[in-house]
Amino acid sequence: MKEVTVYVPKDSAALAVGADEVAAALQVQCATRGLPLNVVRNGSRGLLWLEPLVEVATPGGRVAYGPVTPDDVPGLLDAGFLEGAPHALRQGAVESIPYLASQERLTFARMGVNDPLSISDYEALDGFAGLRRAATLDASAIIEEVTNSGLRGRGGAAFPTGIKWKTVRLAEGPQKYVVCNADEGDSGTFSDRMTMEGDPFMLIEGMAITALAVGATEGYIYVRSEYPHAIASMNEAIARAEAAGFLGDNVADSGEAFRLSVRKAAGAYVCGEETAMLESIEGKRGIVRSKPPLPALQGLFGQPTAINNVITFASVPIILSRGAQFYRDYGVGRSRGTLPLQLAGNIKYGGLIEKAFGVTLRQLIYEYGGGTRSGRPVKAVQVGGPLGAYVPESQWDVPLDYEAYAAMGAAVGHGGIVVHDDTADLSKLARYAMEYCAIESCGKCTPCRIGSTRGVEVIDRITAGGGAVSSQSEQVELLRSLCDTMLNGSLCALGAMIPYPVLSALNHYLEDFRIVEPAHPPVAS
């Protein structure tokens, strides 16, 4: 009997719903039945409601079954799933599942296909083609390619990547660094985690290209302590890339050196702010630095440093291998290329959706997400993590692009989309935003440190009601004024953006704050 290859993902989102147990059950059951089996632990396709999504390699292509539990395994084998036979859990040919087939996967093209730690599998799917090309180019030509692609920082700030790199390139310094911000603390986001676990060489390749472009020889990846699997995967991938000559003394035969290492963070959300992250890598408390100087000029250990988010670096290899024009042909307005969106929270079909800019929230929530998991109506959607606005239904048709979102007081951020059903209390979520800011504030600037605690208190006073009506509306005014102070007076995005969820809750869901309408209007008309 011929050996059959079966893919069982090892992404955290699959492990958390029993993928290891499924893999073990498959091994045991097949051994008992005398069926030769080759289990490959791939990354996740990002169809997270189907995890563990087990794929069987058949002569007609890979057939998916999910969500599989260990108890399903005997039944699947009885039904003949090793030949791709029908079963209640059969999802069909994986590449034709509409959720996946309708995406524009540029960055996530390889995600879930192979063993993420196999260099030969990576190279078989265009891996290291971008770095090989970059190794033959001048630094300025690499930067020009990235600038022309229109790539902007995917961490949230959306700064043009090529311009940042040029600044680092031209800066004077004995040692330059490339630092990857993988402190993905935003609730509702997991694309960085999936990249590190599911396609780690892509991140390494992007960082190595950056190093050639800016003239850096040392690099760090700052990864959250909450992501142990990502840390293990990156460490192993770095060792393998070094052994294969894509890192080390002579990166891809360019004659240039680049050494990369992982730094484990320690659970401080504010360290996702780039200067706090630099402090942390230097071994200090994650206290935000005043800018200027820009980290591009004086960053890690005071040296010129190119800092980008995981997805920014991960977008670079395809820009170099396929050219700037190929990438910039995707997208709308000044938001070029694609964004790996993460559909999360109370959603029926949650997962990773990579689309060109311009897709709408309504498409994402209903066409992809299928509405809420609870089956209740969608009430609010938070876009861009804890610092992102709650977007009401009236704005769900706005095309997702940096400028369009900024114009309506929202932010695309890192592409996280968290759906809440009609049981959500927006005053509670606004209070949570302030509470979270108080827990995570680094404490350096007053609006963030004190304002967040005052914000919790003011929201409590509003929702407790009880006082005179005028005092309740006075408290709302006070909250708006506090938000204004934080927005304009905070040193970094934590304090300056936490008003987004709070103000959007006030603006669009005021009824949740339990404002009691006066029986007699205070001013007679």
Partner 1 sequence: MAVSLVDGDAVADVIESHSSTPGALLPILHEVQDALGYIPRDAAVRIADALNLSRAEVHGVITFYHYFRSEPPARHVVQVCRAEACQSVGADALISHVRERLGCAKQAHSADGRFSVEPVYCLGLCASGPALTIDEHLHARMTQEKFERLASRLEEQS
Judged by the rule CB under 8 A, the positions of this chain that interact with partner 1 are 12-13, 15-17, 48-49, 51, 184-190, 193, 224-228, 263-269, 280-286, 301, 342-347, 350-351, 373-374, 382, 386, 416, 418-421, 424, 429, 432, 436, 439-440
Minimum CB–partner distance for residue 465 and partner 1 (Å): 22
Minimum CB–partner distance for residue 73 and partner 1 (Å): 19
Closer to partner 1 by CB, 126 or 226: give it.
Answer: 226
Closer to partner 1 by CB, 284 or 334: give it.
Answer: 284
Minimum CB–partner distance for residue 264 and partner 1 (Å): 5
Count of Cβ atoms closer than 10 Å to residue 516 Cβ: 12
Closer to partner 1 by CB, 145 or 273: give it.
Answer: 273
Minimum CB–partner distance for residue 59 and partner 1 (Å): 33
| Of the candidates 135, 155, 137, the residue with the CA atom closest to the CA atom of residue 145 | 137
CB contact at 8 A, 151 and 145: no
Strand, coil or helix: 118: coil
Closer to partner 1 by CB, 407 or 439: give it.
Answer: 439
Minimum CB–partner distance for residue 136 and partner 1 (Å): 32
| Of the candidates 165, 138, 110, 310, the residue with the CA atom closest to the CA atom of residue 224 | 310
Which residues make Cβ contacts (< 8 Å) with residue 79, sequence separation at least 6?
85, 86, 87
Closer to partner 1 by CB, 90 or 373: give it.
Answer: 373
Minimum CB–partner distance for residue 363 and partner 1 (Å): 17
**432 burial level (CB within 10 Å; 0-12, 13-18, 19+):** middle
CB contact at 8 A, 336 and 327: yes
Closer to partner 1 by CB, 408 or 439: give it.
Answer: 439
Strand, coil or helix: 446: helix
Minimum CB–partner distance for residue 351 and partner 1 (Å): 6
Count of Cβ atoms closer than 10 Å to residue 243 Cβ: 11
Minimum CB–partner distance for residue 233 and partner 1 (Å): 13
What the block records as the tokens of 195 is 């990249």
Q: Give Cα separations from 407 to 340, 373, 389, 412, 430 (angstroms).
A: 22, 30, 12, 11, 21
Q: Give Cα separations from 329 to 169, 207, 236, 238 (angstroms).
A: 27, 23, 35, 32
Closer to partner 1 by CB, 222 or 313: give it.
Answer: 222
Minimum CB–partner distance for residue 378 and partner 1 (Å): 10
Rg (CA), the chain: 24
Q: Give Cα separations from 386 to 182, 188, 376, 383 (angstroms).
A: 17, 9, 23, 8
What the block records as the tokens of 343 is 């559909």
Q: What is the 3-state secondary structure (H, E, C) of 171-229?
A: CCCCCCEEEEEECCCCCCCCHHHHHHHHCHHHHHHHHHHHHHHHCCCEEEEEECCCCHH
**520 burial level (CB within 10 Å; 0-12, 13-18, 19+):** exposed
Closer to partner 1 by CB, 11 or 205: give it.
Answer: 11
Taking the alpha carbons at both ends of the chain, their separation in whole angstroms is: 89
Minimum CB–partner distance for residue 501 and partner 1 (Å): 9
Closer to partner 1 by CB, 145 or 192: give it.
Answer: 192
